[in-house]
Amino acid sequence: MTLNSKKIKSLLPYFLVAVAIIGVYKVITEIGFFINGIRQFWGIVTPFFYGFLLAYIINIPFGGLQKLLGKIKFRFVGKIKKPVSLIFSYLFFMKIFFLVMYLVIPYIFRTISFFIANFPSYYERALQIIDYLNDLELFGIYISAAGILTMLQDVFQNLNVENLSASAYAVFGGVASAIFTAVLAFISSIYILIEKEKFKGFLRRLLMVFLPARICETTLEYTGRLNKNFKQYIFTQTIDGLILGTIVTIQLLIMRSPFALVLGIILGVINYIPYFGSIIGTIIAILVVTFTQGLAMGAIAALVLLITQQIDGNVIQPKLMGGSFSLSPFLIIVSISIGGAAAGVLGMIAAIPIVAVLKDILERVIIHCEKKNGSNERI
């Protein structure tokens, strides 16, 4: 019986390679069928995927509360620490959510209304800035205001009544689908957190069955490190976004920008995208200030915000992250580009923690090979 199991285990890698080759061949020859199948499968699992993301985020305060309550040496507290931590974590999340819905969303709508009401004056100022830049003849670039206006008119003319009705119907259907997805994701996230220990135990047992003990332990080690990297990245980017958004909001309020809070929120949220996020948010803020308050104020905003962005990128972020994500700028850009192409914004956010772990694995492999080659040379 032991001999048969050893034979089966030794043949398992060859079997998996054969299955992988057959699978790749089938995918290449029937790519359309597989793409449709993936789309249908994604449509089914989408609520549970977002439920997992929500559970992963809420697990950060959930785990912290559990550890905090675990320090209290009472048997009764030990029994109720999990449900109490879960309830308080979700209450905190819901409070933040409704606070945003009650305070931030109405403010954003008021800001948009203010922008629309003052659009003619902003438009005239934009034309003046464009004429001024054209007179400078920088790098031989000419900006045609008439061409931009014609392009916008063509876009709006194509939006006839039938298209608007279809768009409204699509938006209504999309909102209903989004509400259903959000409710299902919220419910599933609760069960994921309740069952997370059982799920982790099941995965560990599954790995132990199909993988050698050494490979299994290595896989679990790097999975744990990846999990730690994700948590640290979410935490540090959240803190950094709050710091950066608050500083920029105060700076724009001093400049008397009517869009200070909105631009601060945009910069804080978009900061989750590594490397490019704060740069894009800073450019948006500079353009808004320029076209709403004039070229001189835009130049001041550019100077102040670019200095702030550089201080954040070179001082605040490294202090918050420590040495966990010590990656070269080139590697960060490549990682973000690949992650964005593969999975959009989520891929860009996940790229840095994943690449940090892959870098650790590669360094360990290189060190192992160097030691092995060194020992061979000594022999």
| Least-confidence region, from 32-41, 55-64, 283-292 | 32-41
Q: Are residues 28 and 153 in the same domain?
A: no
If you average pLDDT over residues 267-291, what whole number do you get?
86
Q: What pLDDT is attached to residue 254?
A: 93
**Domain boundary residue, one of 194, 215, 243:** 194
| Least-confidence region, from 2-16, 209-223, 267-281, 326-340 | 2-16
Q: What pLDDT is attached to residue 158?
A: 56
Q: What pLDDT is attached to residue 246?
A: 92
User: For 197-236, what is each residue's pLDDT tens digit?
Assistant: 888 888 888 878 777 777 778 888 888 888 888 888 888 8
Q: Are residues 134 and 51 in the same domain?
A: no
Residue 228, domain member (yes or no):
no
Query: 266 and 281 in contact (C-beta within 8 Å)?
Result: yes
Q: What pLDDT is attached to residue 123?
A: 80
User: For 232-244, what is each residue's pLDDT tens digit?
Assistant: 888 888 888 899 9
Residue 354, domain member (yes or no):
no
Q: Are residues 29 and 106 in the same domain?
A: yes
Q: What pLDDT is attached to residue 250?
A: 93
User: For 306-317, what is each residue's pLDDT tens digit?
Assistant: 999 888 877 887
Percentage of residues in the chain with pLDDT exceeding 90? Answer: 6
Q: Are residues 78 and 165 in the same domain?
A: yes
Residue 131, domain member (yes or no):
yes
Residue 295, domain member (yes or no):
no
Query: 58 and 90 in contact (C-beta within 8 Å)?
Result: yes
Residue 135, domain member (yes or no):
yes
Residue 11, domain member (yes or no):
no
Q: Are residues 111 and 166 in the same domain?
A: yes
Give residue 376's Cα distance to chain centre. 46
Higher pLDDT, 174 or 84: 84
Q: What pLDDT is attached to residue 26?
A: 67
User: For 139-192, what is each residue's pLDDT tens digit?
Assistant: 667 776 666 667 656 655 554 544 545 544 554 555 677 788 888 888 888 888
Q: How far apart are the C-alpha atoms of 186 and 167, rounded to whole Å? A: 28
Q: Are residues 74 and 106 in the same domain?
A: yes
Q: Are residues 30 and 58 in the same domain?
A: yes
Q: What pLDDT is attached to residue 161?
A: 46
Indicate whether this model's pTM tops 0.75.
Answer: no
User: For 347-378, what is each residue's pLDDT tens digit?
Assistant: 777 777 888 878 877 887 788 777 777 655 54
Q: How far apart are the C-alpha atoms of 97 and 91, rounded to whole Å? A: 10
If you average pLDDT over residues 320-334, what whole number do you get?
70
Q: What pLDDT is attached to residue 164?
A: 44
Query: 278 and 267 in contact (C-beta within 8 Å)?
Result: yes
Biggest CA–CA distance in the chain, Å, is 88
| Token pair recorded at residue 95 | 């409070």
Q: Are residues 181 and 132 in the same domain?
A: no
Residue 268, domain member (yes or no):
no
Q: How far apart are the C-alpha atoms of 127 and 133, rounded to whole Å? A: 10
Which residue range forms the structural domain that includes residue 47?
Answer: 24-117+160-194
| Token pair recorded at residue 111 | 């800001």
Residue 276, domain member (yes or no):
no
Higher pLDDT, 295 or 37: 295
| Least-confidence region, from 42-46, 111-115, 169-173, 194-198 | 169-173
Q: Which of 354, 83, 45 is nearest to 194 (CA)?
A: 83
If you average pLDDT over residues 97-103, what whole number do you get?
81
Would you say residue 301 has pLDDT above 70? Answer: yes
Chain length of the chain: 379
Q: What pLDDT is attached to residue 251?
A: 92
Higher pLDDT, 283 or 19: 283
| Structural domains in the chain (count) | 2
Q: How far apart are the C-alpha atoms of 170 and 172, rounded to whole Å? A: 5
Angle at 127 between CA 125 and CA 131, to 5 degrees: 120
Q: What pLDDT is attached to residue 30?
A: 67
Q: What pLDDT is attached to residue 6?
A: 61
Strand, helix or coil for residue 329:
helix
Q: Are residues 28 and 154 in the same domain?
A: no
If you average pLDDT over residues 15-20, what whole number do you get?
72
Q: Are residues 54 and 127 in the same domain?
A: no
If you average pLDDT over residues 2-29, what whole number do you get?
66
Q: What pLDDT is attached to residue 1?
A: 45
Torsion of CA 281, 283, 289, 295, to 10 degrees: 170
Q: How far apart are the C-alpha atoms of 126 and 145, rounded to whole Å? A: 9
Mean pLDDT of the chain: 78
| Token pair recorded at residue 159 | 């939006």
If you average pLDDT over residues 79-85, what whole number do you get?
83
Q: Are residues 51 and 87 in the same domain?
A: yes
Q: Are residues 149 and 178 in the same domain?
A: no
